[in-house]
Each structure stands twice: as C-alpha cells, then as structure tokens.
Amino acid sequence: MTTQPSDAHRAVTITRTAPGKFRAVNARGGIFDFGSGGDEQFTPVEILLAAIAGCTGIDVDIFTSRRSEPTRFEVTAAGDKLRDEQGNHMGPIDITFRLEFPEGDEGDAARAVVPDAIRKSHERLCTVSRTVLLPTEVTAHEAD
C-alpha cells in the first residue's frame, strides 16, 4: 500500500539531466523538462507565468463551463524580468483573458460570470497568484 501525500502538502523534485537542462517530477509521477532558455524548453520564469495563468484559468473555467463550453479560452500572463537593487525579479504581471462562448442563454450566462470569476480567482482562489502577492517565506538550504 502506497501512502499518498496529504492534500495540503505539495512537493516537486528537480534533477539535472544535462548542462542547463532539468527534469521536474511531482509526487504523482508527473514529469516535465525545462531549461535555462537556450532552446524551446520553458524557463523557470515562464513556468511561473504558466502557473499563474493556469491556476486562474482553471478557476475561471470551473465557473464558466458549468454554464457553457467556451469556443475560445486563452489566458496570457506577461511581465518584464527586472534586474535592479532588489536583484532579479518580475515586475508587474498582467493576466489577460480572451474568452468566447456560443450565442444563446447558456453562453450569456457564462459571459455574465466572467468578471466575478476573475475577481474571485485573483482575490482568494488562485493559490499561485495569491502566493506571489502575499509575503511567502522561501528558504534554501543544503540537505543534511
């Protein structure tokens, strides 16, 4: 019998696979490769942007798809990487939704909840953007 991690705990382990290339593995066995930006692979900053867009996109999809399946559902997270007296970090991140729903009552119902769904995701539901917005302690250390 395998023990499942608690619902609250999250962990990802990365392993270096080649110079500038890494593999991430989650507790459920999911795998993705990423790198330092020398090729088409995602960089860690792009993964952060994807995580923000994906998290809030999932929230909005839950609210809207209960009413109608979208004909277009795109979420873009974009911002500038800054290097200043605070070190390397992202400047303001803008999340843009491009959503379309079919004509009719169901599509109208989905369109009507979009602003509130985006607000709820931003203000309290999206764990990723909430973590970026709130002071969150991050520690780095060598294992014993």
| pLDDT tens-digit series, residues 59-76 | 999 999 999 999 999 999
pLDDT at 7: 82
The parts of the chain modelled with pLDDT lower than 50 are: 1
Q: Over the stretch 45-60, which tens digit does the pLDDT of each residue have?
A: 999 999 999 999 999 9
Tell me whether residue 44 is exposed, middle or buried, using C-beta atoms within 10 angstroms of its C-beta: 0 to 12, 13 to 18, 19 or more: middle
Phi and psi dihedrals of 139, rounded to 5?
-115, 150
pLDDT at 48: 97
Question: What is the DSSP annotation of the chain?
Answer: -PPPPPSS---EEEEEEETTEEEEEETT--EEEEESSSSSSPPHHHHHHHHHHHHHHHHHHHHHHTT---SEEEEEEE--EEEETTEEEE---EEEEEEE--SSHHHHHHHHHHHHHHHHIIIII-HHHHHHHS----------
Q: How many whole angstroms separate alpha carbon 46 and alpha carbon 33?
A: 13
> Nearest-5° angle of CA 86, CA 91, CA 92?
140
- Tell me the one-letter amino acid at 6: S
